[in-house]
Amino acid sequence: MEQIDGGITVVPGVQAAGIHAGIKKEEAKDLALIVTDVPATAAGVFTKNSVTAAPVLVCRQHLSDSTAQAIVINSGNANACTGELGMSNAQRMATATAEQLGIDKNLVLVSSTGVIGQQLPMDRIENGIQLAANALSTDGGNDAAEAIMTTDTHPKSAAVEIEIDGKPVRIGGIAKGSGMIAPNMATMLSYLTTDVNINSETLQSALTCVVDNTYNLLTVDTDRSTNDTVIILATGGAENSKLTDSKGNKYDTFCEGLQFVCTELVKMLARDGEGATKLVEVVVKHAKNRSDAKKAARAVAESPLVKTAVFANDANWGRIMMAIGKSGAEFDPYQVDVLLGDYLLVKNGMDAGYDEDKATQLFDNDPVRITIDLRAGDAEITMWTCDYSYDYIRINADYRT
Amino acid sequence: MEQIDGGITVVPGVQAAGIHAGIKKEEAKDLALIVTDVPATAAGVFTKNSVTAAPVLVCRQHLSDSTAQAIVINSGNANACTGELGMSNAQRMATATAEQLGIDKNLVLVSSTGVIGQQLPMDRIENGIQLAANALSTDGGNDAAEAIMTTDTHPKSAAVEIEIDGKPVRIGGIAKGSGMIAPNMATMLSYLTTDVNINSETLQSALTCVVDNTYNLLTVDTDRSTNDTVIILATGGAENSKLTDSKGNKYDTFCEGLQFVCTELVKMLARDGEGATKLVEVVVKHAKNRSDAKKAARAVAESPLVKTAVFANDANWGRIMMAIGKSGAEFDPYQVDVLLGDYLLVKNGMDAGYDEDKATQLFDNDPVRITIDLRAGDAEITMWTCDYSYDYIRINADYRT
């Protein structure tokens, strides 16, 4: 596996664009278009929030045949809590895109991100779709990554090349989202492309598994969006023999590549969490089972007190013990070790006699890794998060005004 | 029922003191003592955090006979994650107090609050216990309330007088805690006194019920402490015929008084939440059942995005819809109404066409009340919380350093 520069347009047969349609107030890109040269095998995972945005409902409809050729995405407006007009606007986005590209509207997927509860400015959207269709190019991946941003401070792309049947296969991805992020079964917005030759069941299976190990282990602020979406388009242009089985070496090679791309994107998302000054990896080892490992890791990664201590370079391990204690995971407090990087802070649930100055310096590491050994079993998990800073408050107090 | 000034020492037969023992670095009170003139019927509820502090374990032991005559509490050090030495120090606190008062050590309850993971300075504690015993007085309730504070900005007391069998009965309480507060079955530290004549089962039943309707519906930051404790001491000095049944008018009258005192304290705690600028009441109406009502209210009250919007006087109702949507409560998004104060923001899940300036002014109300009508059943609940401000970050980034 080789990491390569770029994102979704490293994959042969994929074009993209990102343009300013005028949905955001400021002069920033706010409409993205991703198109494959042929109808692609497609799979998606979406938010579990019961207040579901209109574009997510349209995606679910249009993915019923597991085929798609285009994704149109706007930022600046979430098209959520918008009722029937919102549904019809999401459908109009698909129709307008289909008309520009000369394809069936059922081949178009739709996403929106931004403020909840306002209707889309459809004249600007439709005009923007035309602009974006004209701007499509094989190096437009970064423009698309930029156009889907809201409070993100920079666009996020990652890509790899793997080999299956001796043939090169590429996987690229972009993602956005730095607040309202605690996906449970899906996440903010992420779009993945690949030329792997694969059937739809196997693609969905790979995506679901990888999302569970990556996006679902990311938390910025415990808040789950109404619009979370991860979509993958597989053009089938690579010359590997078709993957049709969710087992075996070839499938594993593909999942490994996909997991690498998604992990890179997840780290970028956490590092760019609203107000974040640090990327934090929370590793829970020797939990009784995966569910306990997740509970303990999530409790630490979501604790405002742990996150403010990390912001302050304060090795306040008492807050880590508090967090795992409230998590519901089963363990004996006096068996627990806690490490910052490779440095032991807590031995058997108590102060390991560490040096406070040395611990403080370890917060300069990137990422800041907190490892909790529960000595209760064999399960291990890594979650990604960031610290809580003054800027988290500033960004979210200012967002709409 | 009549609200009266003061706290625990409004109850005849109760003395208290709060002194500076030198546990905190600064020149502040850090050791409190509460004593009843006779062994009192006692009940308590404690943290459900599996990392349980030593003093909580001592309380559970000493409450096995439902009788207590003194409570000794230190702030500045939580005596949690302190192993066998921590347990023996908690027991020494009880013993030293018992010796000063000339009573059995099993009649002494012990609490600690402050930094986790450090051993208590026992010389200062024991010296402080002697000072406190000498300072006991029938108007020492406020000193005790002050001595249990950590990041609180002011002491918290409340009291009422009720009538049972035509006889006056008093209930007083103090509480502390402004961070690491999301009690599930108990809470930070709160001590209640009453002269009601009651047996231990009935007292425990009343306390458990009232805590579930008050402290367990308070959240500041989702983090549950290792030391949460609510204790009530009933001297039996009032002349009502003994309450022995958890039903009936007399029991209801007592619960009503107790609930009033606890609700007042809970509101003081939320209003004084770390960095809080506003007290927020989240009311969920017409939920399918109490569990759903709690889930929805908690999701709103704990959402960092809702709390930062409240800090900013921003009627960002989309975040409220997002929060109830992720809560797991069952409802139809397009049946939901949301009110700020009495002003309708959301009708049937969509913008009710409210005036943004008028909504902004409603954040001057105290408390700020957010009402969510789910139209899914008959259950209703009120939760208390506060907003998230820059100061929450400052306080928790600076706490230990």
Q: Shortest CB distance from A305 goes to which of B179, B348, B389?
A: B179
Structure token digits, residue B222: 């989702």
> What is the per-residue pLDDT across A147-203, written as a single tens digit (0 to 9) for each?
998 878 889 899 999 999 999 999 999 988 765 555 443 336 888 899 999 999 999
- d(C-alpha A297, C-alpha A379), whole Å: 12
Contact B349 A118 (CB under 8 A): no
Q: Which residues of B touch A398 (CB under 8 A)?
A: 312
Q: Shortest CB distance from A325 goes to which of B78, B222, B226?
A: B226
Structure token digits, residue B164: 């049972």
**Across-strand partners of B218?**
B384
DSSP string, A235-248: ---S-SPPB--SSH
Q: Pick the residue of B223, B298, B334, B372 with the most A CBs within 10 A to test the interface with A by mutation.
A: B223
- Residue A27 predicted with pLDDT over 60: yes
**Shortest CA gap A134–chain B (Å):** 34
Contact B52 A401 (CB under 8 A): no
Q: List Cβ neighbours of A185 (8 Å cut-off, separation of 6 or more).
A: A45, A46, A47, A48, A211, A212, A216
Q: Shortest CB distance from B322 goes to which of A49, A82, A333?
A: A49
- d(C-alpha A110, C-alpha A368), whole Å: 36
> What is the per-residue pLDDT across A117-158, written as a single tens digit (0 to 9) for each?
889 999 999 999 999 999 999 999 999 999 998 878 889 899
Structure token digits, residue A123: 């004249």
- d(C-alpha B202, C-alpha B205), whole Å: 5
The dihedral built from the CA positions of residue A244, A249, A254 and A258, taken in this order, carries a sign that is: positive
**Shortest CA gap A268–chain B (Å):** 21
- Between the alpha carbon of residue B210 and those of residues B36, B147, B215, the distances in Å are 22, 25, 8
Q: Which residue has the higher pLDDT, B303 or A220?
A: B303
**Across-strand partners of A372?**
A284, A338
Total beta-carbon pairs less than 8 A apart between chain A and chain B:
202
Helix, strand and coil percent figures for chain B, each rounded to 5:
35, 30, 35
Contact A223 B399 (CB under 8 A): no
Structure token digits, residue B347: 């009708």
Q: Which residues of B touch A308 (CB under 8 A)?
A: 392-393, 396-397
- d(C-alpha A145, C-alpha B107), whole Å: 66
pLDDT at B181: 55
> What is the per-residue pLDDT across A271-317, written as a single tens digit (0 to 9) for each?
887 778 899 999 999 999 999 999 999 999 988 889 888 998 999 89
> What is the per-residue pLDDT across B222-273, written as a single tens digit (0 to 9) for each?
666 667 788 899 999 999 999 999 999 999 999 999 999 989 888 888 888 7
DSSP string, B160-214: EEEEETTEEEEEEEEEE-SSS---SSS-SEEEEEE---B-HHHHHHHHHHHHHHT
**Across-strand partners of B372?**
B284, B338
Q: Which of A187, A193, A194, A202 is flagged as catalytic?
A: A187
Which has the closest alpha carbon to A130: A97, A92, A89?
A97
pLDDT at A153: 82
Q: Which residues of A touch B82 (CB under 8 A)?
A: 350
Which has the closest alpha carbon to B190: B162, B163, B218?
B218
Q: Shortest CB distance from A116 goes to which of B83, B304, B318?
A: B318
Structure token digits, residue B328: 């797991």
pLDDT at A400: 53
Q: For chain A, how many residues are written?
A: 401
DSSP string, B280-292: EEEEEEEESSHHH
Which has the closest alpha carbon to B101: B16, B164, B163?
B16
- d(C-alpha B303, C-alpha B300), whole Å: 5
Contact B393 A389 (CB under 8 A): yes
**Shortest CA gap B331–chain A (Å):** 8
Q: Which residue has the higher pLDDT, A312 or A96?
A: A96
Amino acid, res. A136: L
- Beta strand residue intervals within A288-356, DSSP E: 337-340, 343-347, 350-351
Residue found under tokens 């506003």? B278
Under the banding of pLDDT at 50, 70 and 90, the label for residue B109 is very high
> What is the per-residue pLDDT across B41-75, written as a single tens digit (0 to 9) for each?
999 888 777 778 899 999 999 999 999 999 999 99
pLDDT at A401: 43
**Shortest CA gap B47–chain A (Å):** 9
Q: Which of B187, B219, B235, B253 is flagged as catalytic?
A: B187
Q: Shortest CB distance from B325 goes to which of A49, A302, A323?
A: A49
pLDDT at B152: 81
Structure token digits, residue B118: 């450090």
Contact B224 A351 (CB under 8 A): no
Which has the closest alpha carbon to B122: B176, B54, B188?
B54
Q: What is the mean pLDDT of residues A87-105?
A: 97
Q: Residues B63, B64, B65, CA angle at the centre, nearest 5°?
A: 90
Q: Which residue has the higher pLDDT, A317 or B390?
A: A317
DSSP string, A122-162: HHHHHHHHHHHHHH-BTT-HHHHHHHT-SS-SS-EEEEEEE
Q: Which residues of A touch B316 (CB under 8 A)?
A: 399-400
pLDDT at B186: 30
Active site residue A187: yes
Which has the closest alpha carbon to A51: B50, B330, B345, B373?
B330
**Across-strand partners of B194?**
B171, B234
Contact A314 B401 (CB under 8 A): yes
Contact A116 B82 (CB under 8 A): no
- d(C-alpha B300, C-alpha B284), whole Å: 10
Q: Which residues of B touch A304 (CB under 8 A)?
A: 221-223, 304, 392, 396
Whether the CB-CB separation of A213 and A168 falls below 8 Å is answered with: no
pLDDT at B164: 92
- d(C-alpha B61, C-alpha B56), whole Å: 9
Which has the closest alpha carbon to B266: B368, B390, B389, B176?
B176
Alpha helices in A191-289 (DSSP H): 200-213, 248-271
**Residue A313: Cβ within 10 Å count:** 18
Q: List Cβ neighbours of A36 (8 Å cut-off, separation of 6 or more).
A: A13, A14, A15, A68, A69, A70, A193, A233, A235
- d(C-alpha B302, C-alpha B387), whole Å: 10
Q: For chain B, how many residues are written?
A: 401
Cβ density class B191-216: b for 16+ within 10 Å, e for less: bbbbbbbbbbebbbbbbbebbebbbb
Whether the CB-CB separation of A74 and A92 falls below 8 Å is answered with: no
- d(C-alpha A314, C-alpha A356), whole Å: 9
Amino acid, res. A60: R
- d(C-alpha B1, C-alpha A126), whole Å: 65
Which has the closest alpha carbon to B387: B357, B358, B364?
B364
- d(C-alpha B106, C-alpha B12), whole Å: 23
Q: What is chain A's Cα-based Rg?
A: 21
Question: Closest residue of B to A327, CA-based?
Answer: B49
- Residue B191 predicted with pLDDT over 90: no
DSSP string, B295-333: HHHHHHHH-HHHHHHHHTT---HHHHHHHHHHS-----G
- d(C-alpha A371, C-alpha A297), whole Å: 9
Q: Which residue has the higher pLDDT, A216 or A207?
A: A207
Q: Which residue has the higher pLDDT, B95 or B267?
A: B95
Whether the CB-CB separation of B248 and B210 falls below 8 Å is answered with: no
- d(C-alpha B177, C-alpha B182), whole Å: 11
Contact A308 B52 (CB under 8 A): no
Contact B49 A394 (CB under 8 A): no
> What is the per-residue pLDDT across A216-265, written as a single tens digit (0 to 9) for each?
888 766 666 667 788 899 999 999 999 999 999 999 999 999 999 989 88
Side-by-side strand order, sheet with B343-347: B350-351, B343-347, B337-340, B368-373, B279-287, B379-386
Whether the CB-CB separation of B257 and B212 falls below 8 Å is answered with: no
**Shortest CA gap B2–chain A (Å):** 38
Amino acid, res. B362: L
DSSP string, B2-20: EE-S-SGGGSTTEEEEEE-
Amino acid, res. B45: V
